[in-house]
A = this chain, B = another copy of it.
């Protein structure tokens, strides 16, 4: 089914690296609370009977992770990502009948909120002469959609939102999600749109205090974040359907890198996108084909995530059927 793995890191070394990464990470706040929420969410939604994606749950990761450079964190390295892709995709997954676990960077774009201005509270509302809060007419529809559909999905129990900031929190919560989704078997999907950091400073070797600027240029040595993706795929949720993303600024190496990721991590799909054209075109790469997906440019408000999610839901359906036959 999948192409043979050709990992550069021997498996034992990888497990050691990952163990040491997790051991050295600052403890996750309220891990048991998060697990409880997850289990309830999955318990409820695995039995749902409506929509195309009956009983299917997708974990959408969204936004960039940070890497602290100091223990008492003043400086950190951040990976750029608005979270627009993850937020838009979440809307289309909900529309297709999936329940969504939205693992997002604090402050990044939220589902159903994409057409709002940067600071919606201050830009969309005003206080009337009678001291009532009212929405500006021009933003009225966008605000209603944001509050109505977003809160509707959360309150209806179809959307579970879990925020992160650092790469440590991101991977710790992702592990909890994977563990709680195991029972869903092939009905579980991972849609890994977050921009996870490739490099980090190990917690142990991190300086305690703020780096001083007086002593000339700053040399930083960062080490690679262990390739957790292969453990997530093989050990944490071995039956789930996996979609990862490859973002590059150099189109010459993009498809080659997407192919490599597909094989190395045994992904079912890699979505290849180039930074400058990512809202217009992506390439869906599988072991047997490369399909270009384009935004419908005849419609002003069309999202590329609309045809993209349709295609991915089809691929997931085939995967579920194949595993049942």
Given A210-B249, A213-B224, A250-B210, verify A146-B121 contact (CB < 8 Å). yes
Residue of B nearest to A248 (CB): B210
Given A210-B248, A275-B74, verify A122-B106 contact (CB < 8 Å). no
Copies in the complex: 2
> Is A203 on the interface with B (CB-CB < 8 A)?
no
Q: How far is the CB of A100 from chain B (nearest CB, A)?
A: 15
Residue of B nearest to A145 (CB): B127
A120's partner among B121, B247, B275 (CB-CB below 8 A) is: B121
In the bound complex, CA of A168 to CA of B223 (Å): 28
A121–B127 CB distance below 8 A: no
A76–B77 CB distance below 8 A: yes
**Contact surface of A with B, Cβ cutoff 8 Å:** 66, 69-70, 72-80, 106-107, 110, 113, 116, 118-122, 124-127, 131, 133, 135, 140, 143-144, 146-148, 150-151, 195, 198-199, 208-211, 213, 216-224, 247-250, 275-276
Closest 8 CB pairs of A and B: A198-B213, A72-B249, A127-B148, A218-B222, A209-B250, A120-B121, A209-B249, A220-B220
